[in-house]
Amino acid sequence: MDPVKLAVIGAGLIGRKHAELIAGDDDCSLVGICDVDPRCRSVADEFNAPFYEHVEDLLKAERPEGVVVSTPNADHASVVELCAKNLVHVLIEKPIADSMEASIRIIDIADRMGIKVLVGHHRRHSPLIQKVSDVVQSGRLGQLIAVSMMWTLLKPPEYFDLEWRRRRPGGGPALINLIHEVDILRFICGEVSEVYARSSSMARRFEVEDSLSISILLKSGVVASIIASDATPSPWSYEAASHENTHYFHTDQNCYHFFGTLGALGFPRMDLWSYSENDRSGWQHPLSKSEEPVVRSDPLQAQLKHFCRVVRGQEYPLVDGQDAARSLAIALGVLKSMDTKAPVVIETP
């Protein structure tokens, strides 16, 4: 089977990573890289790929079968429209867009033109996340009651050299980073009905938040909380704890906890705490700990393999536009709650 011809639009940090994965995978070939910044030609040169400054030029000259869209969030819809008109399938970096209106534009044009949309919530491809989902859904924790998530780390100063990362609507951890946490919460635990968020920008004084606390109510009645900050040296974040990204310093800490009526699970150490004897429970009795074995692999690589199969028509997108729009609705609800200082009911498409 011939390699799937893929291109990358947006050659920033994550775009370069996608290019690296494509170039190193026998299932696909890197046929071009596009970015409005001519300095990004160096990324294309690194992978011996043609470079373009305009999306239309890349699509017409290289005729890719699929495109990875890793531009700023506000540009996702316009790029996808160009791809759809050229019948090119897309893998869109999360979030699907920066507004519900833009996400609906993406979904509508993809449906009209018959292209597949896969949204890059790549953690769903992680064996660790899939194992947590299996444990929770199997009932081994009993009835799920609560979830606690921490995403706390220090972004380096140069991260904010790009102005859009310092400003609304596209910047800030609520939309850039915590979209991952709310998506994983949905994937493992079910849909969200309400959020209440408070935020602060006291550490950097940017227009966007640097720290926030989110209280979440799921439709099932499960309660959840997320504490987040990108302004503190901390070992408690998915990136540091999961060891899935070599760009981060790795730790051996849990960053998520899942609580049920029969037990509790820490992630990503996968330590499950419960009573060894069901008839002897309560705080006066000892807890036992077991560890859930997981064979680890790179979720970004797994996502790329999946996208190739999606382009070939062999699989349906694990995270399609409608699914991703539901996670975006929660992130936007968080932003609205931060601004209004009031709870927000989540209305999902």
Per-residue pLDDT at 1:
83
Strands (E), the chain: 4-9, 28-34, 51-52, 66-69, 89-93, 117-120, 144-152, 192-200, 211-218, 223-229, 256-260, 263-267, 271-274, 288-291, 344-345
Asked whether residue 84 is assigned to any structural domain, the reply reads yes
pLDDT digits (tens, 9 = 90+) for 77-120: 999 999 999 999 999 999 999 899 999 999 999 999 999 999 99
CATH of the domain at 141: 3.30.360.10
| Residue 5 bridge partners (DSSP) | 29
Number of domains in the chain: 2
Asked whether residue 184 is assigned to any structural domain, the reply reads yes
Q: Are residues 103 and 138 in the same domain?
A: no
Asked whether residue 111 is assigned to any structural domain, the reply reads yes
Q: Among residues 51, 82, 115, which one ends one of the domains?
A: 115
What range does the domain containing 247 cover?
126-295+329-345
Per-residue pLDDT at 321:
97
Per-residue pLDDT at 278:
67
pTM score of the predicted model: 0.92
Asked whether residue 105 is assigned to any structural domain, the reply reads yes
Per-residue pLDDT at 43:
95
Asked whether residue 323 is assigned to any structural domain, the reply reads no
Q: Which parts of the chain have pLDDT scores under 70? A: 278
CA dist., res. 46 & res. 28, Å (int):
17
- The pair of three-digit structure tokens given for residue 334, joined into one six-digit string: 């968080």
Q: Are residues 130 and 104 in the same domain?
A: no
Per-residue pLDDT at 276:
84
Per-residue pLDDT at 102:
96
* Residue 229 dihedral angles phi and psi, to the nearest 5°: -160, 140
Q: Are residues 149 and 279 in the same domain?
A: yes
Q: In sequence order, what DSSP letters do the residues of 91-139 get, joined into one string?
A: EEESSS-SSHHHHHHHHHHHHHHT--EEEE-GGGG-HHHHHHHHHHHHT
Give the Å distances, CA to CA, from 142 to 63, 190, 254, 283, 284: 51, 15, 21, 17, 20
